[in-house]
Amino acid sequence: MSTILFSHGKESGPWGRKITELAARARSLGHLAESVDYRGVEDPARRVEMLEAAGAAAARPLVLVGSSLGGHVAAAAARTLEPAGLFLMAPAFYMPGFEQYTPQVIPCPVCIVHGWHDDIVPLENSLRWGREHRAALHILDSGHRLEDQIPAIAALLESFLATL
């Protein structure tokens, strides 16, 4: 089984409802689940360093799961950590002022989940990045936080883990 390492978004915490429920599903399948605490850390580069340190200490195989800024951070850390897979929810790719930091080298399978009604990170950003990296892309009838779609996301995560 894998270690699932969660990376939360800018305005959330390491054990918000979405991560807690996804971690419970992962554990029910026999995986380990951990989450990095970025609260109080605004610098995305520092968040990447923190995730790389947590990932380096984690048991393998490793799967990175990130939401919003945490998705961007997880993708950036993937180059160093070489996870078995990358599961991203509304990843903050190509955001104004940070376009040059959007990761371009991804050494593993990627699954993206995004909401049709996301008013924080445009859906087009995930479409563009997903197309460039041949990622699986699931678009749900939801907004940025995707909290009304947790059961569907948990099923997608379970399916993704089964393919790795």
What's the total number of domains in the chain?
Answer: 1
- Is pLDDT of 28 > 90? yes
The answer to whether 63 and 54 are in contact (CB under 8 A) is no
Amino acid at residue number 28:
S
| Model pLDDT for residues 84-139, shown as the tens digit of each residue | 999 999 999 999 877 777 888 898 999 999 999 999 999 999 999 999 999 999 99
Q: What is the mean pLDDT of residues 31-40?
A: 97
Q: Which residues of 7-26 are buried (b: 16+ CB within 10 A; e: fewer)?
A: bbbbebebebebbebbbebb
Beta-carbon contacts of residue 119 (< 8 Å; ≥ 6 apart): 143, 144
Is residue 7 a contact partner of residue 67, using CB atoms and an 8 Å limit? yes
CATH number at residue 106: 3.40.50.1820
Range of the domain at 105: 3-163
**What per-residue confidence (pLDDT) applies to 101?**
76
pTM, to two decimals = 0.96
CA distance 155 to 49: 30
